[in-house]
Amino acid sequence: MTTRESTLTHPDNTHPNAFTQAQLEWLPWLEPLPEAELTERHFAGLVDAARAKSPYFRLLARDPDILGARTRTDKDIFYNPEAGLPRAERELSAAAASRYNGCIYCASVHARFASHFSPRKDDVQRLLDAGVNVDLGERWNAIVAASVALSSTPSTFGTAHIERLRAQGLDDLAIAT
């Protein structure tokens, strides 16, 4: 016999209806695992034990193997200082993909980090307000265009995107990040 999870409701919640750099409240639709019930396997998936305090990560910890892979990938993409794009442009890329995909929550996180790591808060807000076709200068335009192409289904990323990124001084590692 299988048990079905019941969906949580949040009747007093007001859903955001605009892209923003503000921190948005995240609410689960399934019950996160109670912190007291997390096992060593769950903590291995969390990668960082402090994440056990977060309902978001405790929900993702329902599949600790996937969470672990996701977290290690995320940390490598955004926190690896060895090579590749500067952190601001990594976050810009993720903000553009989120804006294109319509995820207000992810866009807010990545836009906030893009603004934090660059002096271009107004440009980041223009991306959120006007969308992925806004003119942000050729380097940022090339990064946004590549991110959008990679987010398309089927993917439209190709040689023209790579050439455009290289024309802006990005090497293979920067293009790969």
Over residues 152-166, the mean pLDDT reads 92
Over residues 26-42, the mean pLDDT reads 95
CB 165 within 8 A of CB 175: yes
Q: What is the reported pLDDT for 1? A: 44
Please state the φ and ψ torsions of residue 54, each to the nearest 5 degrees: -90, 125
Domains of the chain, CATH where assigned = 35-79 (no CATH), 87-176 (1.20.1290.10)
Stated as kind and residue range, the H or E segment containing 131 is none
Residue 27, SS3?
coil
Judged against a pLDDT cut of 70, whether residue 2 lies above it is answered with no
CB 157 within 8 A of CB 97: no
pLDDT tens readout for residues 51-88: 999 999 999 999 999 999 999 999 989 998 787 899 99
Stated as kind and residue range, the H or E segment containing 93 is helix 87-101
pLDDT tens readout for residues 83-142: 789 999 999 999 999 999 999 999 999 999 999 999 999 999 999 999 999 999 999 999
Kindly tell me the burial class for residue 57, based on how many C-beta atoms sit within 10 Å of its own C-beta (0-12, 13-18, 19 or more): buried
Kindly tell me the burial class for residue 125, based on how many C-beta atoms sit within 10 Å of its own C-beta (0-12, 13-18, 19 or more): middle
Q: What is the reported pLDDT for 45? A: 96
Judged against a pLDDT cut of 70, whether residue 8 lies above it is answered with yes
Q: What is the reported pLDDT for 132? A: 98
Q: What is the reported pLDDT for 127? A: 98
